[in-house]
Amino acid sequence: MHSYLPENADPLRELREKLRQGSRDSFQLLENFRDNPICSIRHDEAKHCVQVIWRQYATQIQFRYIHEKLLSLICEHRVDKILGDDTALPAIPTEDRFWIIDEWFPRAVKCGLRFAASKQPDAYFGRLAVSHIHSAAPAGLQCRTFERLEEAREWLDRDGPQHGQVQK
């Protein structure tokens, strides 16, 4: 697995330690990354896609832990697409937006992420946050937001290349 982190850097270990000191939701996130009060995660191996359904606001530690775990899935399983149901995402603080843009996106692209599609949040500040993040996507990563989740899924199925095809 390629983590693209400096030597001796283990963000998951540090985040796990902080989550252990957190709320009940944080404990449930630690117990089950794929199904917890904050989000649910599904990996579709056939489509090389990870689906994230946000259920509520995530604290900074929860948000980063979830994204570090998503990065592990992307790297380990050669995922090139991510589908987000951001309907219930109320907001993403500015510091976390810049963390995604400056730190997470480059590592995800190095691991092979090429397409990100999402259903826009219902909340105004959630929509602003997702729009900001998508508008700052690095070269090599196409991001789109849709009014309906099915539209996002269809875009990934239609416009996202099948695994192994090279983008020109």
Q: Write out the DSSP string of 135-155.
A: HTPPTT-EEEEESSHHHHHHH
Confidence band of 20 (pLDDT split at 50, 70, 90): confident
Of 105 and 16, the structure prediction assigns the larger pLDDT to: 105
Indicate if the pLDDT at residue 1 is higher than 70: no
Read off the tokens for 99.
Answer: 């963390």
Q: Is residue 22 a part of any domain in this protein?
A: no
Residue type, 4: Y
Q: Is residue 105 a part of any domain in this protein?
A: yes
pLDDT, residue 3, reads 47
Average pLDDT over residues 110-130: 97
Q: Is residue 153 a part of any domain in this protein?
A: yes
What is the span of the domain harbouring residue 39? 35-159
Domain count, the chain: 1
Read off the tokens for 123.
Answer: 């909340």
Q: How much is the pTM?
A: 0.86
Q: Is residue 4 a part of any domain in this protein?
A: no
Indicate if the pLDDT at residue 168 is higher than 50: no
Average pLDDT over residues 22-43: 93
Query: HSE of 51 in the Cβ direction (CA atoms, 13 Å)?
Result: 17
Average pLDDT over residues 20-40: 92
The predicted-structure confidence for 45-93, as pLDDT tens digits, reads as follows 999 999 999 999 999 999 999 999 999 999 999 999 999 999 999 999 9
Q: Is residue 5 a part of any domain in this protein?
A: no
The one-character DSSP state at 35 is B
Q: Is residue 155 a part of any domain in this protein?
A: yes
Indicate if the pLDDT at residue 4 is higher than 80: no
Q: Is residue 114 a part of any domain in this protein?
A: yes
Query: Tokens 């500015």 appear where?
Result: 94
The predicted-structure confidence for 131-167, as pLDDT tens digits, reads as follows 999 999 999 999 999 999 999 999 999 866 444 433 3
Q: Is residue 66 a part of any domain in this protein?
A: yes
Q: Exposed/middle/buried for 91, CB within 10 Å: 0-12, 13-18, 19+?
A: middle
| CATH code of residue 154 | 3.30.750.24
Average pLDDT over residues 6-23: 78
CA angle centred on 46, ends 44 and 51, rounded to 5°: 20
